[in-house]
Amino acid sequence: MVCQAKDFQQEHKKEMRAVQDSMDVLSGKWKIPIISSLCYYNKRRFSDILNDIEGISNRMLSKELKDLEINKLIKRTILDTQPITVQYELTQHGITLKTIINNLTEWGIEHRKKIIEQ
């Protein structure tokens, strides 16, 4: 009995740590919106993302894109255009976040309804 309770405890600790691991990579005001943009549009240029996300500054977008690239969630490609354009897309690993993005989208819609209805 006591032993099983301890097992649950252990299991929950692991789950809690896993969630925090996710949040280490995803927290902040802009990471999720950026990933969402790439999730919905697939390939997207710097200035496009800048327009997709309301309120973000180029400084922040630049910094966050770097972070996400370091964490292997997105891939950066310089296109041979004139002038040069840069394309971003999700990596295979980044794509595994699609489920979460979809859930957040659905939840956001429901949450807005809940807030408005009162």
Partner DNA sequence: CAGGATCCTATACGATACTG
Partner DNA sequence: CAGTATCGTATAGGATCCTG
Residue in 62, 77, 81, 107 binding its own copies, rule: CB under 8 A: 107
Cβ closer to DNA: 10 or 27?
Answer: 27
Using CB under 8 A as the binding rule, the residues of this chain from 1 to 30 that contact its own copies are: 12, 15-23, 25, 27-29
Residue type at position 106: E
Count residues contacting DNA (CB under 7 A)?
Answer: 23
The reply to whether 106 sits near its own copies by the rule CB under 8 A is yes
Dihedral over alpha carbons 112, 35, 101, 19 (to 10 degrees):
-110
Separation CA 67–CA 100 (nearest Å): 19
Contacted entry of DNA, its own copies, none for residue 36, CB cut-off 5 to 8 Å set by kind = its own copies
Separation CA 108–CA 94 (nearest Å): 21
Taking phi first (over 0 means left), then psi (-120 to 50 degrees means alpha), and beta for anything else, what does residue 72 get? Answer: left
Contacted entry of its own copies, DNA, none for residue 86, CB cut-off 5 to 8 Å set by kind = DNA
Give the interface with DNA as residue ranges (CB under 7 A).
28-30, 45-48, 55-60, 62-63, 65-66, 76, 83-87
